[in-house]
Amino acid sequence: MLADFRAWLQEAAAAGAVNHAPPEPEGEPVDLHTLVSQFVALRHEVHLQTKAARAQQEQSAEALRQLGQAVDALRQAPRPDGDEAVRPLLKTLIDLHDALSLASREVQRVSEAMEPLLGQVSTEPAPAAPKPPAEPTPAPSFWGRLFGRQQEADTIGLLRRELAAERERFEAGRRQGREAAERVRQFLESLIGGYTMSLQRLERALQQSGLEAIPAAGQPFDPELMEVVEAANGTGRPPGEVLEEVRRGYLWRGRVFRYAQVRVARS
């Protein structure tokens, strides 16, 4: 095949049968004005792109500068320390302790006021049984004994049945009263117990947070730890002694967190 192809090429070359591609037609000549205008337009476009890129670069530089200033200001800004962050939580715990203490005292007062009445209802003795009607006296005659005695016996039996029914109703009401009194007593005791446990948990939380109660009752008045809300006369106590703590005060890390409000004796 190679020999045949070589022979064919030699014969085609000898016969001048090799086809040459026709020459391409010449394009329109480019004049100098068109060339210069194209270069001017290209230069103007490049100038605009360069100007836009420069403006974008300046905006980016300004944004970076402002961001750097913001970061510096944030670094230099005073940060709230741990004490300031915890203070609102401690104040909430103290307010909750005050509310529960007030509620517990009120429930205790109501329980003490109702205890005599509940005890009276529980231990009220039963009324003395009414004396049953006397037996009818014998009638003087046969007819009297026959009719009068029977009628009187019927009346006595009816009265006895009514007295027995009345006593049963009274006993039922008495049992219901004792049960109601016992339920009220149990409710008050459970309520007081719930308040007591809640206050104990709050006391532990306050101690764990570093809060210490300021001792006030029976102590001399200390203006650095206490505030006077009332001065009482004729108490027989030394002047300036704290008679009662109206609101508990607290120390936190050696400083006054809340002043104690007290009543003091006046000279």
Q: Using one digit for the tens of pLDDT, what is the confidence trace for 155-207?
A: 777 788 888 888 888 777 777 877 877 888 888 888 888 888 988 988 888 88
249, burial (CB in 10 Å: exposed 0-12, middle 13-18, buried 19+): buried
So what's the pLDDT on residue 249?
92
So what's the pLDDT on residue 24?
52
For the chain, the first-to-last Cα distance in angstroms comes to 142
Q: Are 170 and 127 in contact (CB under 8 A)?
A: yes
Q: Are 227 and 260 in contact (CB under 8 A)?
A: yes
Span 72-89, average pLDDT: 70
Q: What is the pLDDT of residues 28-65, one digit of tens each?
A: 565 666 666 676 676 667 667 677 667 767 776 776 67
Q: Percent of the chain scored above 70 by pLDDT?
A: 68
Pairing of strands 260-265, 226-232: parallel
So what's the pLDDT on residue 143?
46
In this predicted structure, the answer to whether residue 139 has a pLDDT above a threshold of 50 is no
